[in-house]
Amino acid sequence: MVGAYIAIGVAAAVVIFFIVLIVRTALAKTAVLPKTEYAAKSPDKQRLTDILVGAVQIETVTMQNQAKEDGTKFFKYQEYIESQFPLVFAVAEKTLVNTYAAIYKVEGSDKSLLPLGILAHQDVVPAPAEGWEVPPFSGEIKDGCVYGRGSQDMKSQMVAALEGLEMQLAAGEKLKRSIYFCFGHDEEFRGVEGATEISKYLERQGIRFEFVVDEGGTVLDGAILGIPKKIALIGTCEKGYADFHLSVEKVGGHASAPARKTACGILAKAVYKLEKKKFKPFWSVPTSEMFDSLAPNMAGVFKFLFINRKVFSFLLKPVLGLVHPMTSCLIRTTLVPTQLKGADAPNVIPPRATATLNCRINTGDTVENVKKRIEKIAGKDVVVTIDKGWFDPCPVSPISSYGYKTLEKTISEVFNGFITAPFMFTAATDSKYYYNICENVFRFTPFEKSEDDLSRIHATNERQNIEQFVTGTEFFRRLYENSCF
């Protein structure tokens, strides 16, 4: 009899528990930004297109060794950009840092307001012609897009940011908050010669920013998370980065008489184990903030599970790890082999085998912890070293700040009906170097992109959709109107 009462009590507790979860889900309301009426101004599409075509045609490929390479292409690019925005550069004060990195200060009238920092990088990754539908630096217009290396990453954003201010100045508006355009020249090679030196220079001058905007979060289809609208993601931080080198040394020789264990075999086993044993998923601060923002907008079972995310973590974490690479990398540190090397000839057993693993470190983890884990899994025969240029995850910028709220408001106005949410940017940008002069550092690319277009970044047939380019320019114009005028 007692057992029956206990069973009834447990069943009742379970029912009450789920009722509480259901009620909690039902009470979760979508955050609604106050409606703001503003006069949208349509940018000149042909002018924008022509400027981007010209920008793409200047081959500003990243220098691997600034001291030994000819960087005059960056001067040529700067001269071109300066010629296209006469109103901006008539009042902008230019400072060159470390030869090729450029700062353009456009001074506002109200000195009590901290400036706005707008970041972009001049450099692009290499673009061998093989596999391209058009020459990679042609800037050819096709299918409503400008094709070419740098068209997405990130000359389009630089042009849009400058044209947004050009439009405001052309309308006779008077700038109150100063704007600093900070254009590094080696973002694609870690930014140590460009953005790092710019931020150090600004710190020495005693300059601090109200908030910073760089490339990063973008506009995506919310269907993957059960949201019937588009999502605009604002990067509030970014993952850490490290390249780990694994090496094994054993006696080499002729392939006809192999030893029981070889350098390649030991290394291959280590790489296999490291790829198989994924890092443990966890809810980092930015990912928690992201799902807390998105959950009320979800439908059906998605909403129920994510509103009660902590209760159903045991289910959500493995599902997110399987649904899509993008959702998987939001909840864990990732480690992937990218380079392997053994012998130079097929019939030689090499005395040394090496591998490189690229690691993106989740907020809350560290490079040192990752190294210890790699060493433990790889085993004592494998030597693990870290390439220079590594960095731990950067701080998380507050979503309660003026900068985030201004971005959120601007997105709501320009991208009508889109939902905003903070998130952890999984790649690397120049913005990580600016925390010495600003705690409100955000990453947002105001161009709606298809999955196909995203896959073209750093790949063949990179392109920028012209209509989205126009909308992105209006985003910057309105951002300045909301924060600087």
Q: Give 411-470 as a DSSP string.
A: HHHHTTTPEEEEEEESS--GGGGGTTT-S-EEEEEEEE--HHHHTTTTSTT-EEEHHHHH
Burial, 165: exposed, middle or buried (Cβ in 10 Å; 0-12, 13-18, 19+)?
buried
φ/ψ of residue 194, rounded to 5? -105, -80
Q: How far apart are CA 399 and CA 388, in angstroms?
A: 32
Set 187, 238, 289, 365: catalytic member: 187
Is 79 catalytic? The answer is no
- Residue 292 in 3-state DSSP? helix
Helix, strand counts (H, E) of the chain: 15, 17
CA torsion, points 97, 98, 101, 102, in degrees to nearest 10? Answer: 20
HEC assignment per residue over 145-176: EEECCCCCCCHHHHHHHHHHHHHHHHCCCCCC
Which residue, among 157, 175, 204, 164, has the nearest Cα to 41 in the 3D structure?
Answer: 164
Is 173 catalytic? The answer is no
Q: Give 380-418 as a DSSP string.
A: TT-EEEE-TT-BPPPPPPPTTSHHHHHHHHHHHHHTTTP
> What are the residue numbers of the active site?
123, 187
